[in-house]
Structure 1
Amino acid sequence: MDVLIMVGQLILGLTILVGLHELGHMLAAKWFGMRVEKYAIGFPPKIFSKKIGETEYMLGMIPLGGFVKITGMVDESLDTEKLQEEPQPWEFRAKPAWQRLIVMMGGIIVNIITGIVIYVVLTYNYGESYLPASEARYGIIPNEIGQEIGFQTGDRIVAVNGKELEKFEDVYSMDMLLGRDAYYTVDRNGQRVDIQVPVDLMDRVADNKDRMFFVQPRIPFKVGEVQKNSAADKAGLESGDFIKSVNGESVSFFHEFQQALQKNAGKAVAMTVERNGNPVELNVNVSEEGTIGFYQEPLLQYATRDFSLGESIPKGTNQAFGVITANLKGFGKIFRGEVSAQKSLSGPIGIAQIFGDTFNWYKFWNITAMLSMVLAFMNFLPIPALDGGHVVFLTYEMISGRKPSDNFLENAQKVGMVILLGLMAFAIFNDVLKFF
């Protein structure tokens, strides 16, 4: 069932984005009087099709792309039979270069607009929830990667790249993960210490099960909901209790409490709690997994900020183009050899895992918006068979006044298809390899 939810979200998200992308091409082509033979979401075998006017609308069984077939255009179908004839007024090749350029940019433009609109709507409807840096005053806990970078337990992060930290989430920003010469400034026992971000940080977090959360704030806590008939319930633990020690070992933060339980997994422990200002002694049986059966209530106050529509538009737009900036930085690191393409790139399996095995509307649309911007970026790459490849040839034609021959375009399309199929095979194989 979990796998079905992941796959279902992937298919729904891709169907929306591919459908809108190809719609951008089709509407631009029809606007300029070009004949659109087919509009397809997904690849054959065919699930459904219906012809309306001159255009066949098709839904394919393989939901990993789509296409628009425009008469007189050398595309991925490599159908060049009609190109031997004189161009007709309704054909792609008969139109001015500037019109053909707009048609090829149509899908990219629609994906960018889609990403911006989704981010704006999410910002307006949900606002922003974040942990103020002032609430992380108890310092941080670094995991193994955080320790390798140079963080120590109890460090308080006060600045990123010399700018005062306002939201703790900025510790994980793409500027820090993908930037060059990035650094953190921490307060360590009253002394300010700069911690340089290694150029391969993205590689390191990709290898770690905790992903990018290489440091987390230390969290003071109290007991929240106690599960019925759990070891905590049977021992008399109550919601609102403050746990002070386990087997005489003081625990001020939740991670310390978890560590104490792990050390005593499968054993009974003596626990001191504070209840209504008074100490209470309890004996609790710890499970083999190192749990006793209650939910913590963090004592850190998260802040929420609401945005007006006027505020949401620039914020959502910046968030959308931030995805493209992050992709540019990521590719730059790959080309410079600072990060591994194998660890950084994901195919459909990896994308499905990003969606996750539970459905949440906010998360779904947030990921869909990100993918819309990624799709726009990837399609703009100057690779034949992608929109960006067509844009390069059309720009050359507009500047030089000479159109590349149909034979050249056909061969370029074949080369592009080989490159794309190779990249897709690499991404899928890479996804499978990550399971081992």
Structure 2
Amino acid sequence: MMILGIVVFAIGLLISIAWHELGHLSTAKLFKIRVPQYMVGFGPTIWSRKKGETEYGVKAVPLGGYIRMIGMFPPGPDGRIESRSTSPLRSMVEDARAAAFEEVEPGDEDRLFYTRKPWKRVIVMFAGPFMNLILAFGLFLTVLMGFGTTQETTTVSEVQKCVVKQSEKRDTCKKSDPASPAAAAGLRAKDKIVSFDGVKTERWNTLSDEIRANPGRTVDIVVLRDGHEKVLHAKIATNQVAKKDSSGQIVKGQYVNAGFLGFSAATGVVRLDFGESVTWMGDRVDDSVHSLAALPGKIPALWDAAFGNGPREPDSPMGVVGAARVGGEIFNLDIPATQQLGMSLMLVAGFNLSLFLFNMLPLLPLDGGHIAGALWESLRRHVAKVFRRPDPGPFDVAKLMPVAYVVAGIFVCFTVLVLIADVVNPVKIT
């Protein structure tokens, strides 16, 4: 089952990469840019076939993919594609420029990438990450509305006997602890809370928010017990409870004083409607943006987890190897097969959402770096037009290649660090 889970994730990864590159390919062909190659993976070619002017293939290392478009960079200021230089930085620029033109054939002069208008280049480079975003949302919707996800419900799992601050993290009661409102009201395990103070509680977050918002009040709680509705009366206590963010998620290590009833909610498979699913996905995008911004701050803890005795935090950065391992663990969970598949699809969806956000960073060699270059070119040309200055021509993105190599080097080092942590101290869901 572990191997099956890893295989399922690997297939999802390959599809995600191919789908991403298909976005670039289709829009490039739409704008008549010649594309000699479409490849999934890196390294030695396992299989390829040429159709028309494009070679389609699969390579041995499934950690990415690419399409090769001719004329990615414009010629140098002197109009030359390749020149000689003893400067290492200048050589990087010249090598990149030469590679962009090495497959140019007679008749390709009007099929070069850099000759397309900036808005067309933005579309070509944005299409890849956008395909990942579409796939992520499609998979999220499929799982949330079709399979459902395991969530807390309004059914009671266990009634707490007393009021204990959640920051104390203890299960036993002291003589000084007051009885919990739930126990005093006669709430029982397996009761399903139908309404709270007149508010229908079909979702756990609705019930939780109502309890927290009514400290000190005596309220009517309608429960479904043995097929019959029963009205209970409870005086909501004030207690220190875990803080929740705007999406209803618990904020680790932070507490607030709020209303407290005193029971544990049972978990169950819950299907969301379209509106709830869209809201849920919006919250995940917001979480992912904040996680990406916080990534540099997590590197010290990641290093300690890989080379020291530090724990691997659940929200630690995770690479392809770690994600594949989690995919394998999912298929070992004691849950129905439909939920195993649903969780695997959620893992692939989260991977695609991360690919979208990561590729949109305005840094070369990422797609966002090429988008930023095209937008800057458009701005320069519009400013020149407004002030009736000569057209400055295409922005030479090749000049940024030294920066691109530095960025790529940082990414490689980070990827190796994550890989080591995923092997020696992996994130686990069990």
Give TM-score, length-normalised by structure 1. 0.61
- The 3 A distance-change label for structure 1 pair 74 and 11 is farther
Q: How many residues align?
A: 323
Partner of 1:377: 357
- The 3 A distance-change label for structure 1 pair 61 and 375 is same
C-alpha distance in structure 2 between counterparts of 1:419 and 1:171, whole Å: 46
User: 1:131 aligns to what SS in structure 2?
Assistant: strand
2:167 to 140, 149, 158: 149
For the pair 1:411 / 2:393, whether they are aligned, the reply is no
Partner of 2:117: 96
Partner of 2:55: 56
Deviations 1:40-75 (A, max 9, x none): 111121110001011111101111111111111159
1:386 to 343, 348, 366: 366
1:420 to 406, 411, 428: 411
Partner of 2:140: 119
C-alpha distance in structure 2 between counterparts of 1:121 and 1:421, whole Å: 34
Deviations 1:317-341 (A, max 9, x none): 3333333211122234456779945
Q: What one-letter code is carried by the residue in structure 1 that aligns with 2:58? A: L
Q: What one-letter code is carried by the residue in structure 2 that aligns with 1:324? A: V
Alignment of 1:258-269 (within 5 A): none
For the pair 1:361 / 2:322, whether they are aligned, the reply is no
Q: Is the 8 A contact 1:185 1:192 kept in 2?
A: no
Q: Is the 8 A contact 1:32 1:99 kept in 2?
A: yes
Deviations 1:88-128 (A, max 9, x none): 21111111111000000001111111111222222332346
Q: Which runs of 4+ in 1 moved over 6 A?
A: 84-87, 154-158, 169-172, 184-189, 201-204, 336-339
Deviations 1:371-425 (A, max 9, x none): 1111111111222111111122222111122543254143333233222212211
C-alpha distance in structure 2 between counterparts of 1:337 and 1:362, whole Å: 29
What is the Cα-based RMSD across aligned positions, in Å?
A: 4.5
- The 3 A distance-change label for structure 1 pair 349 and 26 is same
C-alpha distance in structure 1 between counterparts of 2:358 and 2:161, whole Å: 37
C-alpha distance in structure 1 between counterparts of 2:56 and 2:161, whole Å: 55
Q: Is the 8 A contact 1:6 1:356 kept in 2?
A: yes
Alignment of 1:150-189 (within 5 A): 150-153=168-171, 167-168=203-204
Partner of 2:129: 108
Q: Is the 8 A contact 1:149 1:198 kept in 2?
A: no
Which blocks of at least 5 consecutive residues in structure 1 are unaligned?
159-163, 173-183, 205-215, 220-299
For the pair 1:345 / 2:306, whether they are aligned, the reply is no
- Percent identity, please: 21
Moved more, 116-125 or 392-401: 116-125
C-alpha distance in structure 2 between counterparts of 1:334 and 1:165, whole Å: 37
Q: Is the 8 A contact 1:119 1:366 kept in 2?
A: yes
Partner of 1:317: 278
User: 2:329 aligns to what SS in structure 1?
Assistant: coil
Give TM-score, length-normalised by structure 2. 0.62
Deviations 1:141-176 (A, max 9, x none): 9xxxx9883444387899xxxxx997558999xxxx
User: 2:32 aligns to what SS in structure 1?
Assistant: coil
- The 3 A distance-change label for structure 1 pair 304 and 326 is closer
2:240 to 191, 194, 197: 194
